[in-house]
Amino acid sequence: MKDAYVTWLKNEDKSEKTVNEYPVILKKLIKWFEETEGNKFEPNMVTTLHVHEFISFLDKVKHYEPAYINKILASLKTFYKFAMETGLVIYNPMLKVKMKRTMKQYAPPKWLTKQEVARFFHAIEQEKNIKRKSRDIAICRLMAGAGLRVQEVSDLNIPDICIEKRRENVIVRGGKGSKFRIVPLNIDTVESLKDWFKYREHPNNEPLFLSERNSRMSDRTIRHMVTKYAKDAGLEDVSPHTLRHTFCKSLADQGVRLEYIAYLAGHESLETTRRYTQPGENDLRKAVQTISEIR
């Protein structure tokens, strides 16, 4: 079950930190359940009552802070989403479980500032292999400039891209939840794709991006590539999802309506999109500086 869960998390484009942490958090529930019930843990044996008793245990016995309990609950909600999708359970015990109230601020998604984006793409520009550089810029523009998930980029075929004037878009055929969407492309992304097409022939239904071995670029290879360029740029903890977050945050900062951002990013819920209206540390710092008497 653990291996299947880890694979599912990766396919959901969860960060490396989440992929590592969530199975560990699940063990807390498993250990508590087996010690409390005296039975081997099975996902379908857990009821909503069990969950509430587990929350009480975390609060009254373990003395965990509300923010950390909420992190555990978020993890378990994700696990039971996996369990429902894979047929491990027919009822989701987390469905009506609410997060604990807390005054602590939730950390917003990690995104890059305009300056950090410039540093990131500058690092790619230093790639000496011209064909590889062209490919990698186009890949990263689709994430940072069109909000595609890493798996969505990997799955693209040449016919999914249209760069005709006034029709520039990318078709995402197998997004999260198998959702189909069409995302318009900005000029930066279009120019990067035009440059890549100089090196890429156009047979029908061929993968858009090829590896050095002339096979479809995997999501794992793309992740490694993004991490490498981020390191070259002196940026820490940057993943393909960081570029996607940057796309959403940039739109939110421009005042684009949440419904539009949700569609473009392929979000299932507006609550997911609403995170990008939450201020980051830099936003708060700038706000405080505006009332300083020292200029």
Per-10-residue mean pLDDT of the chain, 295 residues long, equals 88 87 94 92 93 92 88 93 92 86 59 95 97 97 96 94 93 74 95 94 82 91 96 94 94 91 87 76 78 70
- Dig out the tokens for 264 from the structure: 């473009």
Nearest CA among 50, 55, 47 for reference residue 71: 55
Alpha-helical (H) ranges within the chain are 2-11, 16-37, 48-56, 66-85, 114-125, 130-144, 150-155, 187-197, 219-232, 240-253, 258-265, 270-274, 281-289
DSSP H helical segments within 167-280, as ranges? 187-197, 219-232, 240-253, 258-265, 270-274
Sign of torsion, CA 158 167 134 10? negative
CA distance 274 to 268: 12
Domains in the chain, start-ordered, CATH in brackets? 2-85 (1.10.150), 114-282 (1.10.443.10)
Residue 200 annotated as catalytic: no
Q: Report the alpha-carbon angle 19-51-89, nearest 5.
A: 65
Structure confidence at residue 267 (pLDDT): 86
Q: What is the DSSP letter of 60?
A: I
Yes or no: say if 183 and 246 are a contact pair by the CB < 8 Å rule: no
**Encoded tokens for 170:** 């990318």
Q: Which residues touch 214 (CB under 8 Å, ≥6 apart)?
A: none
Quick one: tokens of 285? 């710092």
Is 267 catalytic? The answer is yes
Question: Which residue among the candidates 149, 200, 245, 249 is catalytic per the annotation?
Answer: 149
Helices 16-37, 2-11: axis angle to 10 degrees equals: 150
Q: How many CA atoms lie within 13 A of 30 on its CB side?
A: 13
For the record, the structure tokens of 287 come out as 């706000």
Strand partners for 181: 172
**Cα gap 80→163, rounded to integer Å:** 41
Is 276 among the residues known to form the active site? Answer: yes
Q: Which one of 223, 241, 245, 249 is the catalytic residue?
A: 241
Contact 93, 46 (CB under 8 A): yes
- Give the whole-angstrom CA distance, residue 177 versus residue 156: 16
Going by the DSSP 8-state scheme, the letter that residue 157 receives in this structure is: B
Contacting residues for 147 by C-beta, under 8 A, at least 6 apart: 183, 244, 247, 248, 264, 265, 266
Residue 5 falls in the annotated catalytic set: no
Query: Which residue among the candidates 176, 228, 274, 275 is catalytic per the annotation?
Result: 176
244: annotated active-site residue? yes
Catalytic one of 141, 223, 244, 249: 244
Using DSSP, state whether 161 is helix, strand or coil: strand
